[in-house]
Amino acid sequence: MSLVNRPARLLALMSMLFFVCSAGWANDYPAPVDVDRVTVAASTETVNVIGRVVALQSGNVAARTAAAVKQVNVQVGDVVKADQVLLELHNNRQRSMVALMQADIKQWDAKVSSAIARKQLAASDLRRLEQLRGSSAFNQSLYDQRVAESKSADANVAEAKAALNYAKVQLARAQQDLDWTQVQAPYDGVITARHVAAGEWVALGAPVVDLVSTDAIEVEADVPAQYLQYIQNGGEVTASVNGQPLALRLRAVLPAEQALSRTQLARFSLALKPDQRPPLTVNQAVNVAVPIGSADALTVHKDAVVRNGSMSFVYKVLEGVATFTPVQLGASSGERLQVLDGLQEGDVVVTRGNERLQPGQKVQPRPKQ
């Protein structure tokens, strides 16, 4: 054996011996590690979505009868209450029709009374003839005539009553047409446009003003479809308008997904009464905090997760031994990650010292500081 190669061979032999001894020492002596338990925790992680205020009631208020405008009582920007008179139309024609129908009713009322009197007279004559039946004074042809007259009187009464009822219906229509010459607000709101002025002629159904409700409002937002599973109908979410907090409650989600953005339109009702919330205007931007995890989720500390490419795993401690455990993770919430698969509540996992562990290696949890 060459004396020159002897030191190199001796060094290699000593290195191999050290590696074998150190490996055996590592298996014999537990590695000190920090551990943590897998727990169920409330997820507070959210993503901001820009929504907008929408009015449930808005549109134009139309004239329900044709006439010339007499007076407009509101201006753009006025706040109005339901049933408030917005403008008045000239009502001479409508008032005349009401008076005409009232006179018609009086006329037919008199005709009904006259027909009833003739009916009573015919009935009285018929009863007198019936009392003579069987005697020599009874006249059959006269009796038949009185029967026909009685039936005719009955028909005249029915006809007069029908005409009276028809006149009453016509009066109600004329009165309604007169009432409609005062255009009223159908709900509380703000006047956003005025389409007529005094002296103009408005046709039936023509718009006179635009009205937007200030109380019947909601918030709509395009929410990523993947997060809708974390909001139930009626569930509350937090939001803000110009830095002021606003509580919302999910009312409905439209069953249509946008192909490009992968979002669905969600409608949120306001959880607070009008006097308890900040001032809101239609189309105003609203920051909606959409949760990106379930309210109660199984979580693991983020320091316990070791990533190798697309795979994530942890070392679960079982009877003092580090067990290699692949996991499937979800959204993050602070220092914890949602666990979708691989762990159960109460499992103990290594959070520090796991970067040097080997599967099956003994570990010794350090006391928590």
Question: β-strand 31-37 against 363-365: which pairing, if any?
Answer: parallel
Query: Tokens 């191999």 appear where?
Result: 16
The count of C-alpha atoms lying within 13 angstroms of the C-alpha of 82, restricted to the half-sphere facing its C-beta, is 8
Domain spans of the chain, in order of start: 30-44+296-365, 58-88+181-212, 92-179
Instruction: Give domain 58-88+181-212's CATH number out of 1.10.630.10, 2.70.98.20, 1.10.3660.10, 2.40.50.100.
Output: 2.40.50.100
Report whether 225 contacts 264 (CB < 8 A). yes
149 sits in the region (left: phi over 0; alpha: psi -120 to 50; else beta) called: alpha
pLDDT by residue for the chain (369 residues), tens only, comes to 444 445 545 444 444 444 444 444 445 679 999 999 999 876 667 889 999 999 999 999 999 999 999 999 999 999 999 999 999 999 999 999 999 999 999 999 999 999 999 999 988 888 888 888 878 888 888 888 888 988 998 999 999 999 999 999 999 999 999 999 999 999 999 999 999 999 999 999 999 999 999 888 999 999 999 888 888 777 788 899 988 888 899 999 999 999 999 999 999 999 877 777 788 888 999 999 998 866 677 899 999 999 988 889 999 999 999 999 999 987 666 688 889 899 999 999 999 999 889 999 999 999 876
β-bridge mates for residue 220, sequence order? 52, 267
pLDDT of residue 4: 44
Report whether 43 contacts 276 (CB < 8 A). no
Question: β-strand 311-318 against 306-308: which pairing, if any?
Answer: antiparallel
pLDDT of residue 224: 93
pLDDT of residue 298: 87
pLDDT of residue 243: 86
Helix (H, G, I), strand (E, B) or coil at 254: strand
d(CA 320, CA 360): 9
Q: Which two tokens stand for residue 49?
A: 């979505």
d(CA 232, CA 222): 16
Query: Tokens 């009187």 appear where?
Result: 153
pLDDT of residue 12: 46
Helix (H, G, I), strand (E, B) or coil at 156: helix
pLDDT of residue 236: 84
pLDDT in tens, 19-57: 444 444 445 679 999 999 999 876 667 889 999 999 999
pLDDT of residue 317: 96
Report whether 164 contacts 108 (CB < 8 A). yes
Q: Name the nearest CA neighbour of 266 among 66, 49, 31, 73.
A: 49
d(CA 153, CA 196): 55
Report whether 177 contacts 94 (CB < 8 A). yes
Give the DSSP letter string of 321-334.
EEEEEE-EEEEEET
CATH number of 30-44+296-365: 2.40.420.20
Q: Which two tokens stand for residue 245?
A: 């907090």
Angle between helices 92-131 and 140-179 (to 10 degrees): 160
Give the DSSP letter string of 166-196.
HHHHHHHHHHHHHHTTEEE-SSSEEEEEE--
pLDDT of residue 173: 95
